[in-house]
Structure 1
Amino acid sequence: MQNLHGHTYKVVFGISGVPDDVGIVVDFADIKKIWKNRIEPYLDHRYLNETLPPMNTTAENMVVWLFEQMEEGLRTSGLGERSAGLRTEFVRLFETPTSYAEARREWMADA
């Protein structure tokens, strides 16, 4: 068994929707609020095996959890009518600058 170690992950979300009359799909501040309230408390300086649902905390499993959390956050964000058309299209979780796991809407729908 390896010694306990940490990672500095980077996550990229692809969000889609219909632009409003000003040309905005969703304000980045709203995405950040979802991140800060729904996702970051489970990840930042945490022992992931204790804060995430029971799973093997691989990047591949975590990216599925991230996708699900963002989808739920968009649905329940309080953005009113605008939230109805918002969708998570993909999530990439970078473990290093060149290595990442990815979940895409079409793959999640097929699962």
Structure 2
Amino acid sequence: MKYWLYLMLAILTEVVATSALKASAGFSRPLPSLIVVAGYAISFYAMSLALEAIPVGIAYAVWSGIGIVLITVAAWFLYGQRLDVWALIGIGFIIVGVVILNLLSKVEVR
């Protein structure tokens, strides 16, 4: 269970860092830039811990799937970036893929 918590921490800190990336304005604004660097550092460290027990393919699929959804929501609220119906359908497929991987896949760490 703790490895899944590491993965969730990795995802959340990556989402914060990516959200701050736009606000950093090409790393010209110090506070958002610091958030980006710290967020990615924490994220990769937490991901490395998660990979001790979660297969890398599964971890990365979950990371990217949940990350895409959360970044999309953050961009909607923070930057007013709206999605059309096709984008929402595509994100729906990503969510379905992550659910299938977690509920049906029997992949194990060696």
Q: Name the TM tier (shorter chain).
A: 0.3 to 0.5
More strand by share: 1
More helix by share: 2
The structure whose RCO (Cα within 8 Å, separation 6+) is larger is: 1
- TM-score where L is the length of structure 1: 0.34
